[in-house]
Structure 1
Amino acid sequence: MPTSEELNRLAEAVARSADRQAFAALFKHFAPRVKTYLVRLGTSDGLAEELTQEAMVLVWRKAASFDAARASVSTWIFTIARNLRVDHFRRLGNRIVDAQEPDAEEAPDSLPQPDELLLIHQREAGLRQALDKLPAEQARVLRLSFYEEQPHAQIARELGIPLGTVKSRVRLAVMHLRRLLDGLE
């Protein structure tokens, strides 16, 4: 499992020289994680696969816009995937609202409605704001654990801290997030 720094270097290699091997390594690492992330957001399996492919194509095409100083490559890639999902449902919602003719396609009941998409977007924004209020060390451990899906032992090695400290930070961060999201702080 590559470290965040190794993943950043792979993305930079793709940006600098269109390095196909670096992109293959990024694809192998992120494609299954992005698909899982999209499915967890409520996206159907088939659409999640399609959006994952589209996200990875954008990673290849827009690698030059990646800036490791602003975010890790995983944050950048997951943001691309999330934005593609939101755009997909916005387009679908607009087509459904505008389609008045009798033979127009209707969305299956399993697709989120525009108000549900708005609620999802608001929750995501609230979570991002709450994450920004966490102490830096707690936020970093949470991002590595939940967004990058790294095991606690790997996080401990990467950050050079004891495993127990990683677990404590995750627990404290989750408790702190709950208080922030419940409006108690």
Structure 2
Amino acid sequence: MIGRAVTARRKGPVAVPDHPGFEGFYREQTPRVVAFLLVLGVQLSTAKDLTQEAMIEVYRRWDSIDHPKTYIRTVVSRNWAKHLASTEFPTNEIPDRTPIDDNSPLSEVLFSETSQAYRRALAQLPPRQRQVMAWTADGYRPREIAEILDISGDNVRANLRKARQTLDKTLRGDLR
């Protein structure tokens, strides 16, 4: 548990700093950050790994972060970009169909036919549109997204409009 002494091998007790509020943040935000990454087109297993890495960074900086929900999404976005730049992709990609938990409602949603069609449609969007959709799906407004991504509000709204039109058109054809 966070805030308690932890015993390390051969080194005796190690004090773990107590960060009030982090545990609740972790529980609430972990599945949401994974979902955010899925909207960006990240495979489930990679999304989980990137989320854990980002949570470690947030934990270490917890006392100096003013907006942790925004900060963690910025961190995972940056880490995803680094991952893409440093990864060689196989030509025959194996789809990630590992359920989070066989009884989990999230697992049912992630692997439903509609969800799979939505993820396929998202993957066809240009990167900026996918990025704007991910932030929007997570509850951020265009003004906030513009500030976070350092682009104009008009640019955010235009990308959001184009993404929604493309998704609507693609999904109507996919779900018939």
Q: TM class, shorter-chain normalised?
A: 0.3 to 0.5
TM-score normalised by the chain length of structure 2: 0.45
TM-score normalised to structure 1 length? 0.43
Flag the structure with more relative contact order, 1 or 2, with Cα contacts below 8 A and sequence separation at least 6: 2
